[in-house]
Amino acid sequence: MNSKAGKAYVHGIVSGHDHGNDWCAPSSLKSSAGQIVPVCFAKHSGYGGYDYDNWNHGARIFDFNEENVQDGVQTYVRFETGEKRYSTNLNSKWASEVPA
């Protein structure tokens, strides 16, 4: 995504897959500003394939503020029921806040 200033920002690398686990973790990659780039796995979000009661139907959402894209991106899992879980802000402080 490009900001109005013309700079590109990488807030994370995301892969969707067909399992129930859903997470973001630090990677060995760093941005040009020296920030650790997280890698995220997004949960199974469709109706085909796997479906277990404790997984629930939902998807990982990434909310960007177009006016302040450099501030990071809010990400969370929104379930079909409307419930929101696993919220985190992928920003410059994120990697230092991740439990070891």
**Domain membership flag for residue 6:** no
**Domain membership flag for residue 8:** no
The parent domain of residue 69 ranges over 13-97
More confident residue, 65 or 50: 65
pLDDT at 73: 87
Instruction: Give the CA dihedral 12, 16, 19, 20, nearest 10 degrees.
Output: 50
Q: Which residues pair with 63 in a beta bridge?
A: 74
**Distance between CA atoms of residues 4 and 66, nearest Å:** 8
Tens digits of residue pLDDT in 6-43:
566 777 888 877 666 778 888 888 877 777 888 888 77
**Domain membership flag for residue 2:** no
Total count of domains within the chain: 1
**Domain membership flag for residue 18:** yes
- The whole-chain average pLDDT of the chain stands at 76
**Distance between CA atoms of residues 19 and 38, nearest Å:** 19
